[in-house]
């Protein structure tokens, strides 16, 4: 077990290093620089700013300094906001995390429920309805779904009821958190439902399920005590990257609903070529994704008693 974790941690460090290195060099390949919009800035002031952020040094020196700072846990100072990147992320991440947790909980619970119903009631209207919801969730992009929810469930519904029931933007009240959470969760809900349906259909045709039926167990006992635990394994497998993506927030949803999360800062930093902000948020996203995937791999072994990680075997 310990050997497996150490091996995965080594892979994690290599992955994060490659990601950060690729981000660093790709940023420098973009046309212009972070100060390209400051046309009225005097040349001397521009030189001082470049010297302050190390942009006057050769590319190799900039990269060496960048890696050393990452090793020390220093994400640098944002060029645009003139604040430590770590400080911006620490303030913005709780909003992204809250949005992601709400979306993840709704997507997983509803996705598993719809997938189970579709498999158990295969060929019925329940199956058809569940799969229609899944197809819609996969087909409609988040930015379109978010705009539709804003228009129909916020603007039109508020006009119809003559009260401000659901806000179109913001993250300061309970009501303002409903629409972005739904918009973020629908795509994941569809994926979970489709995975769950396919997996449950395979499990329901297994020999041990037939044995359970022959023993006189009820359908509810068979589903909850035997089928669900094994059918949920493929869903758990994909939850690592899904959870990481949702818990760190998404760029589009946070921008559409004006949520002050990490994704919103990341998009803005790209538009203004804020090198340190781009590098810091990329490092944060990469580390979070790697850690979430590792945790899911470990949890996987506890869910299925047939899978154990011991010694040097994966």
pLDDT at position 263: 83
Question: What is the percent of the chain with per-residue pLDDT over 90, rounded to a whole number?
Answer: 7
| pLDDT tens string 142-172 | 788 888 988 888 888 878 877 778 888 888 8
CB 281 within 8 A of CB 6: no
pLDDT at position 264: 83
Q: What angle do CA 198, 145, 254 make, to 5 degrees?
A: 105
pLDDT at position 173: 87
pLDDT at position 18: 92
Residue 154, number of CB atoms within 10 A of its CB:
21
- pLDDT averages per 10-residue partition of the chain, 314 residues: 77 88 86 67 78 84 89 86 90 89 91 89 86 84 86 84 82 89 89 88 83 79 79 76 72 86 85 87 85 72 55 45
Eight-class DSSP state of 226: I
Q: Could you give the angle at which helices 262-271 and 275-303 cross, rounded to 10 degrees?
A: 140
What are the backbone angles phi and psi of residue 77, rounded to the nearest 5°? -110, 130
Predicted TM-score of the model (pTM): 0.78
Name every residue whose Cβ is closer than 8 Å to that of residue 5 and which is 6 or more positions away in sequence. 294, 298
Greatest alpha-carbon span in the chain: 86
Alpha helices in 140-273 (DSSP H): 142-149, 157-161, 178-204, 207-214, 219-221, 228-231, 233-247, 251-256, 262-271
- Token representation of residue 95: 């909003």
- Token representation of residue 3: 């050997």
Q: Around 18, how many Cα atoms within 13 Å sit in the side-chain half-sphere?
A: 7
What domains are there in the chain, each with its CATH number?
A: 93-259 (1.10.3720.10)
| pLDDT tens string 17-68 | 998 899 889 888 877 777 765 556 677 777 887 888 888 888 888 899 888 9
């Amino acid at each position: 077990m310990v050997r497996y974790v150490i091996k995965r941690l080594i892979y994690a460090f290599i992955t994060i290093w490659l990601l950060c290195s690729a981000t660093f060099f790709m940023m420098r390949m973009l046309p212009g620089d972070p100060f390209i919009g400051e046309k009225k800035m005097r040349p001397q002031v521009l030189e001082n700013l470049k010297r302050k952020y190390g942009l006057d040094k050769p590319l190799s020196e900039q990269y060496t300094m960048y890696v050393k700072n990452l090793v020390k846990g220093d994400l640098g100072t944002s060029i645009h906001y003139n604040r430590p990147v770590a400080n911006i992320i620490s303030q913005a991440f709780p909003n992204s995390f809250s949005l992601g947790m709400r979306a993840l909980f709704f997507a997983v619970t509803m996705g598993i429920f719809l997938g189970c119903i579709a498999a158990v009631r295969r060929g019925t209207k329940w199956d058809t309805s569940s799969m229609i919801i899944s197809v819609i969730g996969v087909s409609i992009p988040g930015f379109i779904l978010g705009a539709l929810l804003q228009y129909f469930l916020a603007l039109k519904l508020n006009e119809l009821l003559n009260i401000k029931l659901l806000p179109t933007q913001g993250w300061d009240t309970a009501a303002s958190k409903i629409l972005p959470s739904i918009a973020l969760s629908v795509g994941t809900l569809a994926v979970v439902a489709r995975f769950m349906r396919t997996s449950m259909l395979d499990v329901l045709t297994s020999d041990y399920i037939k044995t359970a039926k022959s023993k006189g167990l009820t359908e509810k006992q068979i589903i909850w005590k035997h089928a669900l635990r094994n059918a949920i394994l493929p869903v758990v497998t994909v939850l690592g990257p899904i959870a990481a993506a949702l818990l760190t927030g998404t760029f589009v949803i946070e921008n559409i609903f004006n949520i002050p999360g990490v994704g919103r800062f990341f998009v803005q930093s790209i538009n203004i070529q804020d090198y340190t902000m781009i590098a810091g948020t990329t490092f944060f996203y990469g580390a979070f994704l790697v850690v979430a995937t590792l945790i899911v791999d470990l949890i996987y072994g506890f869910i299925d008693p047939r899978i154990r990680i011991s010694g040097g075997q994966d």
